[in-house]
Every structure is written in structure tokens, then in C-alpha cells.
């Protein structure tokens, strides 16, 4: 079925997307663009991908009715438990799929960027599983604030290269990865979100779509209907949201809410609320909405959560924003911290700081009593314990 939310043949969602890359990368990107749909739709890929998702990742992840959270907010709130995936977040759905595609294309060397380290760990994991060489670029600041994930990547055999430019976070790690890719075009760039040059945004969305594929039958089982009223997900680059929204994009009666990180406040100058602050521009090979000054220089983003600390959103999300198909909200550092502690206290689930932003908007919405809400619980909070410890002591 053709959806207006699927990209055209050049990788555009409306005016957003495309592949703005140097000449040297054209053969590789074209090879991927020419083959990824056929590979993903092949029976051989589907069999291997679905088997790994089940036996290795631990899918399907539960769709859990959070009763006490529901009582508090006066709605039926379900949590899609991506935090229970192997390696602790949704990122592995994508890396398992891309590593199979890389192998199919005969690639042996994998590179990746990472913010919170979750994508780096998920990439290093599948490289260990398949015996492929793995190099991960990570901002120097993130290497410090997400130290346990650095150890994990090294144990898994990956080389971790610090990005020392700019704000030393995700954007800078991505710049370094792209620079390396240009110098080594034979490597496979295993991008961690629905960002980058086409076909990456669409490829990653298709690989994360398993989230909403499962939601459909799980909701049918639990509520009698495949469709919820509302889906809420946090947005860094946008992959967990893309996965949770994917099979509902054309069902306009399902409200989609994307939550960005407001940092110290949307207008504080220390934020990553891209849709509210951004304009159309080009970042990391794709035309999208990004935070920039009047000279087109990228504004350094800020968020307490490394996974949301990114000045752009993927082109699909820029299109969802522009068309109004998704509603964009934001949560500050403080609101996210409060929400993380609340979920832990009343449901016994410690969420990732990124995920906590999605939870934080519950307080900003008035629900109907019978409203069915799904929150995509993108990851678990182990990696954020140092920040949670500080909050506990404050
Ligand atoms: C990486 C990450 C995010 C943000 O990335 P998206 O591509 O927007 O999903 C959100 N939550 C968790 C737990 C993450 O690891």
C-alpha cells in the first residue's frame, strides 16, 4: 500500500530527505538504495531477521497495561516495553536488520555513531554476533557521561573513537563517522536513527516498524481494537517514534505525539527542541528541520539525555511536523527526571532518561477516561544511574 508518509523514489518525504553527499560516497549509497527494499522484503531476510528478533533480541516485547500510572492520569496507559530488548533499548531492532543487509552486500567493516552509547552497544553486539569489524564514533562528553556503555562496546570488541569537536556530543560523533566514511567508502555505515542520507531514514524506519506491527495484534488482544487513541514517543533522531508510529501513519484517528528535549527550557538557549526552534536546512546528508543561527550555522543543542542531544530530526519527522500529522511537544530536564522517578516509584520500572521525556508529557495532557494511550518505553535506565544518583542526593 502506498502511503503519503513513505518516501518517493529519491528518498523525499514531501520537501524533506534526499541524499546530500559527496561524490565519493555515491556508488555505496546508490548500491544500498538500489537493493535495500528488495533485501528487506525477501523471504530469506525476513526469516533470518524475525528469527533473530525472537531468539536473540527477545521479541515480541510486552505491551504492558500500567495500572497505577493509568489510575493517576485517568486513562488506559500501555507501555511498549522496548527496554526489555537485548542491550536495553529499541536500537537493536535496527542493528540486527542492518547487519543482515550489510552481510548481504558483502561488507565486512562496520562504522557507527553513538550518543548515549545505546546504538554503539547495539552495533558492537551484532558485529560480535556476526564476526565483523566494528568502529564506533562517540563524543568526548558522552564518553564521560555514559561510561558503562563505553566499557560494553570495548568488551564487545569495538574500537571507540572520541569526537572532540563542537559540543563533543552526538552531532560531532556523526560528523566524524561521515568523515571516516568518505575516506573509507567501502565500509558500511550502520546509522542508528532515521537520519542521514536516503535510503537510511526509510530503511531504519522499516526495521523499527516491528514495534507498531506488534502493537497492532497486542492491542487487538487486550482491547479488542488494533488502534489506540494516542501514541507517545520521545524523539532524538526519531527512530523509536518512527517504529511506534509506522503502521498507524495513515490512520488519522490515531493521535501521534512526538516529544523533544527542552533541556533547561525551550527558549533558554540550552535545549534540543528542534521542531520549535529549527528551520529547514541540511544536516548529515539530508534536508530536514534543524537548529541553526541566522547564518545557517548549526546551534549546539543541549539535553540532559545524550540520546536526545541532537540539533535535527529525521526527514520523516520534519514532514510529520510540517503536515501536522504528529503533534510535537517537549519536556525539560527537570520534568524528565521527575517522570523517571515517578514511573520507578509507581510501576517498578526504571526508564532511560530519553524515554522519561515521553512520560513527562502525561502531566500536560487532559485525557478522557476511556482513552487508550501507548507510550513507547524506548529503553531502560541503567546507563543513567549516575545522573539519577545525583538527583537522588540533591
Ligand atoms: C537512542 C535513544 C533514543 C533516541 O533516538 P531515536 O532515534 O529518536 O529513537 C531514545 N531512547 C533511547 C532509550 C535511546 O537509546
Question: Are the beta carbons of 198 and 11 closer than 8 angstroms?
Answer: yes
167 and 36, same domain (yes or no): yes
Closest by Cα among 367, 361, 298, 288 to 321:
288
Task: With respect to residue 367, please indicate whether it lies within any of the assigned structural domains.
Answer: yes
Cell of 331: 519536556
Q: Which of 94, 261, 378 to mutate to test the pocket of ligand 1 (most atoms within 8 A of CB)?
A: 378
Task: With respect to residue 385, please indicate whether it lies within any of the assigned structural domains.
Answer: yes
Q: Closest ligand 1 atom to the C-alpha of 208?
A: 9
236 and 344, same domain (yes or no): yes
179 and 155, same domain (yes or no): yes
Cell of 298: 548549526
Task: With respect to residue 12, please indicate whether it lies within any of the assigned structural domains.
Answer: no
28 and 135, same domain (yes or no): yes
Cell of 194: 532515521
Q: Calculate ∠ Cα 147-196-357, nearest 5°.
A: 50
For ligand 1, atom 1, name the residue with the nearest CA.
307
Over residues 89-107, the pLDDT tens digits come to 999 999 999 999 999 999 9
**Mean pLDDT for the stretch of residues 146-164:** 96
* Pocket lining: 93 vs ligand 1, CB cutoff 6 Å: no
270 and 346, same domain (yes or no): yes
Of 177, 204, 231, the one marking the end of a domain is 204
Q: Which of the residues are catalytic?
A: 91, 113, 378
Question: Are the beta carbons of 372 and 78 closer than 8 angstroms?
Answer: yes
pLDDT at 394: 81
Residue 116: is its pLDDT beyond 70? yes
Task: With respect to residue 9, please indicate whether it lies within any of the assigned structural domains.
Answer: no
Residue 1: is its pLDDT beyond 80? no
CA of 1 to the centre of ligand 1 (A): 28
Q: Counting runs of H as helices and runs of E as strands, what totals does the chain give?
A: 16, 14
253 and 242, same domain (yes or no): yes
* Pocket lining: 307 vs ligand 1, CB cutoff 6 Å: yes
Cell of 257: 505525539
Q: What are phi and psi of 377, to 5 degrees?
A: -85, 85
298 and 181, same domain (yes or no): no
Over residues 317-370, the pLDDT tens digits come to 999 999 999 999 999 999 999 999 999 999 999 999 999 999 999 999 999 999
Of 181, 204, 227, the one marking the end of a domain is 204
CA of 240 to the centre of ligand 1 (A): 6
Buried b (16+ CB within 10 A) or exposed e, 304-332: bbbbbbbbbbbbbbbbbbeeebbbbbbbb
The span from the CA of 319 to the CA of 325, in Å, is: 8
Question: Are the beta carbons of 78 and 86 closer than 8 angstroms?
Answer: no
* Pocket lining: 88 vs ligand 1, CB cutoff 6 Å: no
The span from the CA of 124 to the CA of 25, in Å, is: 23
337 and 367, same domain (yes or no): yes
Measured between alpha carbons, how far is residue 43 from residues 122, 151, 205, 299 in Å? 24, 37, 19, 44
Of 204, 221, 242, the one marking the end of a domain is 204
Task: With respect to residue 174, please indicate whether it lies within any of the assigned structural domains.
Answer: yes
For ligand 1, atom 5, name the residue with the nearest CA.
236
Task: With respect to residue 226, please indicate whether it lies within any of the assigned structural domains.
Answer: yes
pTM, entire model:
0.97
Measured between alpha carbons, how far is residue 72 from residues 60, 334, 336, 343 in Å? 27, 20, 17, 11
CA of 209 to the centre of ligand 1 (A): 14
Task: Please give the tally of structural domains in the chain.
Answer: 2
231 and 328, same domain (yes or no): yes
Percentage above 70 pLDDT, the chain = 100
CA of 354 to the centre of ligand 1 (A): 6
307 and 331, same domain (yes or no): yes
For ligand 1, atom 13, name the residue with the nearest CA.
379
Cell of 158: 569495538
For ligand 1, atom 15, name the residue with the nearest CA.
118
Q: DSSP 3-state assignment of 43?
A: helix
The span from the CA of 162 to the CA of 235, in Å, is: 24
Range of the domain at 343: 58-88+209-393
* Pocket lining: 89 vs ligand 1, CB cutoff 6 Å: yes
Which residues are within 8 A (CB) of 334 and not within 5 positions of it... i.e. 6 or more apart? none
Cell of 350: 526504571
Flag the least confident range among 176-180, 238-242, 382-386. Answer: 382-386
Helical H runs in 260-324? 274-277, 315-323
199 and 217, same domain (yes or no): no
Task: With respect to residue 13, please indicate whether it lies within any of the assigned structural domains.
Answer: no
CATH of the domain at 283: 3.40.50.1100
Over residues 270-309, the pLDDT tens digits come to 999 999 999 999 999 999 999 999 999 999 899 999 889 8
267 and 131, same domain (yes or no): no
CA of 23 to the centre of ligand 1 (A): 30
Query: Please, what is the average pLDDT of the chain?
Result: 96
Measured between alpha carbons, how far is residue 243 from residues 256, 315, 354 in Å? 12, 14, 16
Task: With respect to residue 314, please indicate whether it lies within any of the assigned structural domains.
Answer: yes
Q: Calculate ∠ Cα 176-263-274, nearest 5°.
A: 60
Amino acid at each position: 500500500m502506498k502511503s503519503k508518509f513513505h518516501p518517493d523514489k529519491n528518498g523525499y518525504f514531501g520537501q524533506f530527505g534526499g541524499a546530500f553527499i559527496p561524490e565519493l560516497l555515491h556508488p555505496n549509497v546508490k548500491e544500498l538504495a538500489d537493493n535495500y527494499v528488495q533485501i528487506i522484503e525477501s523471504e530469506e531476510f525476513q526469516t533470518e531477521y524475525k528469527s533473530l528478533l525472537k531468539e536473540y533480541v527477545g521479541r515480541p516485547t510486552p505491551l504492558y497495561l500500567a495500572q497505577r500510572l493509568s489510575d493517576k492520569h485517568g486513562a488506559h496507559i500501555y507501555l511498549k516495553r522496548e527496554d526489555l530488548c537485548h542491550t536495553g533499548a529499541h536500537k537493536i531492532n535496527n542493528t540486527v536488520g542492518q547487519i543482515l543487509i550489510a552481510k548481504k552486500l558483502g561488507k565486512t567493516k562496520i562504522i557507527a555513531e553513538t550518543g548515549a552509547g545505546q546504538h554503539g552497544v547495539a552495533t558492537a553486539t551484532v558485529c560480535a554476533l556476526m564476526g565483523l569489524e566494528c568502529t564506533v564514533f562517540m563524543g568526548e562528553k558522552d564518553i564521560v557521561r555514559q561510561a558503562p556503555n563505553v566499557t560494553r562496546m570495548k568488551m564487545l570488541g569495538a574500537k571507540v573513537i572520541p569526537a572532540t569537536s563542537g559540543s563533543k556530543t552526538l552531532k560531532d560523533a556523526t560528523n566524524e563517522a561521515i568523515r571516516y566514511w568518505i575516506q573509507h567508502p567501502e565500509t558500511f555505515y550502520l546509522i542508528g536513527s532515521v537520519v542521514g542520507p536516503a535510503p537510511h531514514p526509510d530503511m531504519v524506519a522499516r526495521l523499527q516498524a516491528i514495534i507498531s506491527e506488534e502493537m497492532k495484534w497486542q492491542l487487538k488482544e487486550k482491547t479488542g481494537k488494533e488502534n489506540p487513541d494516542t501514541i507517545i514517543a520521545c524523539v532524538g533522531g526519531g527512530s523509536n517514534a518512527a517504529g511506534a508510529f509506522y503502521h498507524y501513519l495513515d490512520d488519522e484517528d490515531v493521535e501521534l505525539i512526538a516529544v523533544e528535549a527542552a533541556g533547561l527550557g525551550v527558549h533558554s538557549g540550552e535545549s534540543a527542541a528542534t521542531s520549535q526552534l529549527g528551520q529547514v536546512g541540511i544536516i548529515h546528508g539530508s534536508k530536514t528541520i534543524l537548529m541553526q543561527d541566522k547564518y545557517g550555522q548549526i546551534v549546539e543543542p543541549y539535553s540532559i539525555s545524550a540520546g536526545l542531544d541532537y540539533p535535527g530530526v529525521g526527514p520523516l519527522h520534519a514532514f510529520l511536523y510540517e503536515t501536522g500529522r504528529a503533534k510535537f511537544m517537549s519536556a525539560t530536564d527537570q520534568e524528565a527526571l521527575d517522570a523517571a522517578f515517578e514511573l520507578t516509584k509507581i510501576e517498578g520500572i526504571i526508564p532511560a532518561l530519553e524515554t522519561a521525556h515521553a512520560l513527562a508529557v502525561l502531566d500536560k495532557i487532559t485525557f478522557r477516561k476511556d482513552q487508550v494511550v501507548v507510550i513507547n518505553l524506548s529503553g531502560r535506565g541503567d546507563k543513567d544511574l549516575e545522573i539519577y544518583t545525583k538527583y537522588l542526593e540533591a
